[in-house]
Amino acid sequence: MGNKLFLLAILLIVIVSCSNKGGELSDKSKIYEEKTIKYAIIETDKGIIKAELYIDKAPITSKNFIDLANAGFYNGLTFHRVEPDFVIQGGDPKGDGTGGSARKIPLEINPDLKHVKWALAMARTNDPNSASSQFYITLAETHFLDGNYAVFGKVIKGMNVVSKISVGDKMDKVYISDK
């Protein structure tokens, strides 16, 4: 009788530990499925720029950019600012750095996201919660911007294109891709 109880206890321990591990795996699969990688593709006359979007670390800012790109907002807009060894900036429908979309988003700072070379971030006015549609790409490490502007991606392809952008160059098409 004692051996049967002992075997029953061992069996219960094995069943419980297997069911817990199964639950953990299921939870991890759900997390993995939710972390979809998205890329912003910016087609210009000088070539294509591809940036990975950090939707898991900057969801509000990424969603704003994705919504604008999906609506065709950026198509035909220009890069209105080019500061060598600093940034290129675009996304202003007025083309002079004073315009934006109808929507403003709050400043979204993630301490893991820094202004490294090729970072993709949102421009704004002096009001921290004024980001709209203007974005910039850093041409060098610009850590003095960390904590003040929302980084939401990084250029992973077309860095040579970014380096060739001049004031007035057009974004022919901006769209979002899974690859």
- The pLDDT score that the predictor gives to residue 5 is 43
Q: Count of CB atoms within 10 A of residue 140's CB?
A: 15
User: E-strand spans in the chain?
Assistant: 38-44, 47-53, 79-83, 87-90, 119-122, 135-138, 151-157, 171-177
Total residue count of the chain as it appears in this document: 179
Distance CA 156, CA 138 (A): 13
- The pLDDT score that the predictor gives to residue 90 is 98
Distance CA 22, CA 148 (A): 42
DSSP category for residue 137: E
Return the structure tokens found at 136: 């910039």
- The pLDDT score that the predictor gives to residue 36 is 77
Would you write out the chain's pLDDT as a tens digit for each of its 179 residues?
555 544 444 444 434 344 443 443 333 333 334 457 899 999 999 999 999 999 999 999 999 999 999 999 999 999 999 999 999 999 999 999 999 999 999 999 999 999 999 999 999 999 999 999 999 999 999 999 999 999 999 999 999 999 999 999 999 999 999 99
Give the global pTM.
Answer: 0.80
> Which residues neighbour 142 within 8 Å (Cβ) at sequence distance 6 or greater?
86, 87, 115, 119
